[in-house]
Structure 1
Amino acid sequence: MNHKLKNTEVKTTSNQQEEKPKVRFFDIDHDDAGQRIDNFLLRTLKGVPKSHLYRLMRKGEIRVNKKRIKPVYKLLSGDVVRVAPIRISEKTDEVSTSLNIVASLEQQILFEDDRLIVINKPSGMAVHGGSGLSFGLIEALRALRPQAKMLELVHRLDRDTSGCLVVAKRRSALRNLHEQLRNKKVQKFYHALVKGHWSTKLTRVTDALKKNDLKSGERVVVVDNINGKPSETRYKVLQRYQGATLVRAFPVTGRTHQIRVHCQSAGHSIAGDAKYGHDDFDAQLKPKGLKRLFLHAASIEFVHPKTEQKIKIDAPLENSLEKLLANLTKVDN
C-alpha cells in the first residue's frame, strides 16, 4: 500500500509554537481501492473519533476528487482524498520494543515477504489489545515493523492457543486471503493432547455449536444440535500415550472454540483447557510439565496472493509442550 501523503505548508510565528494541523491528501492505489472511505480514514487517521470523521464528511471537509462524499463511498484506484486540517491525538499507548515479550516475537516469525507475515503466536498472548489488555500481538508487530503502512490480522487464534497466525501487509493480500477463507481454500491443522484413548475410527465430529454469553460476560460455546450452527472437525491420531492421545485436528468450519468443544463433546477434553477441560486429567499432567492449553496451530496452507503458488507453513511446538510429551509414556497405536 503506497498511497502518498502530501501536506500543505503552514506558517508558525515561533519555533516554540506547536505546529498547526495541516490539510492532508491521500492518493488511493490498488491496495486501498474497494474499501469504504470511513473504514479507510479510521485506520489511517488513528486517534480521530468516528463521530468527528462523520461530522467532517457531512460538512464537506473530507472530499474525494474535490466532491462531497458519504461514509459508505467505496474508494477507487486513482481517487484523491482531501482531509481538512484536523488535530490527531498523539496520546496513544505505544508498545515498547524493549519489552521481552515484544522483542521475542522477532524470533517467532516463520515467513515474511512484502505481502505477508506468518508468525508462531505464543500461548497466553491475545491477538489484539482490549478487554483490559494494553496490547496484543498485532500491536506488538506494528511496533516491530514501524515502516509497514498496514498490518492486519487475516484470522484469529484464541489467547491460549499457539501456532500459525497470518498477518497481511497489504489490503489486496487481506482481501485475497479472506476470499480463500470464505471458499474454504485455507487449510489449518492443529495438534492437541487430549484425555484418554481416542479411537482410530473417530475421524469426524459434527456437533452443531451455539455461543452463549453468561451473566459474568464470559462467552461459552455449547453443543446444540437444534439451534446451533453446523460445525465439523476432522481428526487423526498421531500418537497414543498412557491416559492421553496426541491428535491432529482439521476444522472444516471455523466456529468459536470449535476444536475445544468438539474434543469435549467426544469425551476427550484437551489438556490444560480451563473452560472445557477435565480437572483430574490436568492434575495428572501438571507434575509432568503441563503449564498451558495443549492446542497448537501446527501448520497452515494457502495460495500466496502474489505468486499464486500454494505454500505451507509449519510452526514447531514450544519447548514446554515438547518436554511434556517426552515425559509421557508412549503406547502402541
Structure 2
Amino acid sequence: MAEGREVQWVEVTEGQAGQRVDNFLMTRLKGAPRSLVYRIVRKGEVRVNKKRVKADSRLCVGDVVRIPPLKLAPREAVREVSDNLRNLLAGSVLLEGRDWMVINKPSGLAVHGGSGVKIGLIEALRQVREDLDFLELVHRLDRDTSGCLLLAKSREALLTLNTSLKQHQMSKQYLALVAGRWPVRRDFVSARLDRFDAGNGERRVRVDANGKVARTRFAVREAFAGATLMEAEPVTGRTHQIRVHAAHAAHPLLGDDKYGSRQGQHLARQWGLSRLFLHASSLTFAEPTSGKPVKIRAPLDDTLEAVLHQARRTK
C-alpha cells in the first residue's frame, strides 16, 4: 500500500523522463487513488526541484520530486491485486515488444481506477510488472468491452504511438453483435456525437448536430435470426462511438445496458449473453522503434463464442 510517514525525494531516471507528474506519482504511489494524487499536486505538496508544478507538467532526467507523506483511509486506498486478477492479466498478454505490450482486456475491468472503481487494469499491471519504470495506456476501451489494448513501456514509445493514433495510422477492428438484420449496403455511419449528463451522475453519449464529428465503418460478418455479427472500424475515436452509431442505425448492440433495445435484451437472455457483445478483435500499428507493421488479433472469450454458437442454431 502506498502509505508513508516521511517525505520522499525521488530523482527522475532516464527511463522516467518525459512522464507527466500525475502518471509518475501513480506509478510510485501504488495504493493512492488518482483523485488523491491530483489533490496533493494542487495543494503544492508535490514539488519538482523545490517548485510547485501542475499535474500535466513533464519531468526531465535529474529532476528531484518531493512526494509528501500519505496516510490513506481504508476506503481511499487502491486495492492490492488479487491472485486471480494477477493470473488473469499474466495470461492476457497477446504480444510484447521491447517498449510496448498488447493485452486482451477482459470484459468488466475498467482501464483506470476511480469513480467507485478501486483498481483498474493499468494500476493492476503496474503492481504485477514491478520490473517496469514506465507503463501507460496508448488508448482506452470501455469497461465492458474486451479485446486488444495497447500499452507503452517507455515515454518515447508512448509519444510515437500517440502520434500514430492521432494521424489515423493505427487500425482497430471490433466485433459487435447487433439486433436485427443489418442492411448489407450500409457500410458507413456518420453522425456527430455529444456527451451529456444522464441525470444520475452517469455520462452518456447521444447523436447531436452540435456534437463532435464521428464516423464508423461497418461490415456484415454473419447473419442470424434476429441479429447480425458485424465488424466495426471507428474512423474517429469518440466515447461509446460504435455503440451509439449502431443504435442510431436502429441496430443496437446486444447486452448494451445504456443504448440497447428490448429486442436485443430478449435475444441476449435467450442466448445466455450477460455482457456487452463488443470485442476489439484486431489491432494494427507501426512498431515504435523499427516502424515495421505489427498486427495482433485477440480471440473471443468462451462466453462470446458460446453466444455465437447459440445464435448459429437459429439459422
1:217 aligns with: 201
Does 1:320 find its partner at 2:290?
A: no
Deviation at 1:329, TM superposition (A): 3.4
- Give the TM-score, by structure 1 length: 0.81
What is the letter of the counterpart of residue 87 of structure 1?
A: P
In the alignment, the residues of structure 2 paired with residue 305 and residue 196 of structure 1 have an alpha-carbon distance, to the nearest angstrom, of: 41
Q: Deviations over 1:69-90 (max 9, x none)?
A: 55266544x544264x853557
Q: Deviations over 1:197-250 (max 9, x none)?
A: 1112101000111111122111121111x2111110001111111111111000
Which ranges of structure 1 fall in alignment gaps of 5 or more residues? 1-18
Deviation at 1:276, TM superposition (A): 0.7
1:188 aligns with: 172
What is the letter of the counterpart of residue 122 of structure 2?
A: I
In the alignment, the residues of structure 2 paired with residue 167 and residue 290 of structure 1 have an alpha-carbon distance, to the nearest angstrom, of: 29
| From 120, 125, 132, the counterpart of 1:141 | 125
1:291 aligns with: 274
What is the letter of the counterpart of residue 311 of structure 2?
A: L
1:32 aligns with: 17
| From 87, 93, 99, the counterpart of 1:109 | 93
Greater CA drift, 106-115 or 312-321: 106-115
Deviation at 1:254, TM superposition (A): 0.6
Question: Over aligned residues, Cα RMSD in angstroms?
Answer: 2.8
1:96 aligns with: 81
| From 160, 171, 181, the counterpart of 1:176 | 160
- Give the TM-score, by structure 2 length: 0.85
Deviation at 1:21, TM superposition (A): 4.0
What is the letter of the counterpart of residue 269 of structure 1?
A: P
CA shift in 2, pair 1:53/1:122, >3 Å: closer
Identity %: 39
Greater CA drift, 23-32 or 254-263: 23-32
Counterpart contact for 1:30–1:172, Cα < 8 Å: no
Counterpart contact for 1:154–1:174, Cα < 8 Å: yes
What is the letter of the counterpart of residue 14 of structure 2?
A: D
In the alignment, the residues of structure 1 paired with residue 27 and residue 118 of structure 2 have an alpha-carbon distance, to the nearest angstrom, of: 20
In the alignment, the residues of structure 2 paired with residue 128 and residue 20 of structure 1 have an alpha-carbon distance, to the nearest angstrom, of: 27
Which ranges of structure 2 fall in alignment gaps of 5 or more residues? none
Deviation at 1:154, TM superposition (A): 1.3
In the alignment, the residues of structure 2 paired with residue 75 and residue 223 of structure 1 have an alpha-carbon distance, to the nearest angstrom, of: 39
| From 250, 260, 285, the counterpart of 1:277 | 260
Q: Deviations over 1:159-208 (max 9, x none)?
A: 11111111221121111111111111111100001111111210100011
In the alignment, the residues of structure 2 paired with residue 210 and residue 188 of structure 1 have an alpha-carbon distance, to the nearest angstrom, of: 22
1:16 aligns with: none
In the alignment, the residues of structure 1 paired with residue 245 and residue 6 of structure 2 have an alpha-carbon distance, to the nearest angstrom, of: 54
The 5 Å alignment of 1:1-333 reads: 21=6, 24-29=9-14, 32-33=17-18, 35=19, 38-39=21-22, 42-43=25-26, 45-46=28-29, 52=40, 62=47, 64=49, 69=51, 71=53, 74-76=58-60, 78-81=61-64, 83=66, 86-89=68-71, 92-98=77-83, 100-224=84-208, 226-329=209-312
Counterpart contact for 1:97–1:140, Cα < 8 Å: no
1:5 aligns with: none
Matched residue count: 302
What is the letter of the counterpart of residue 212 of structure 2?
A: K
Deviation at 1:42, TM superposition (A): 3.4
SS state of the match for residue 313, structure 1? strand
SS state of the match for residue 311, structure 1? strand
What is the letter of the counterpart of residue 237 of structure 1?
A: V
Counterpart contact for 2:178–2:246, Cα < 8 Å: yes
In the alignment, the residues of structure 2 paired with residue 271 and residue 314 of structure 1 have an alpha-carbon distance, to the nearest angstrom, of: 22
Look at both structures and tell me which one has the larger radius of gyration over its CA atoms: 1
What is the letter of the counterpart of residue 235 of structure 2?
A: V
Counterpart contact for 2:47–2:65, Cα < 8 Å: yes
In the alignment, the residues of structure 2 paired with residue 105 and residue 254 of structure 1 have an alpha-carbon distance, to the nearest angstrom, of: 25
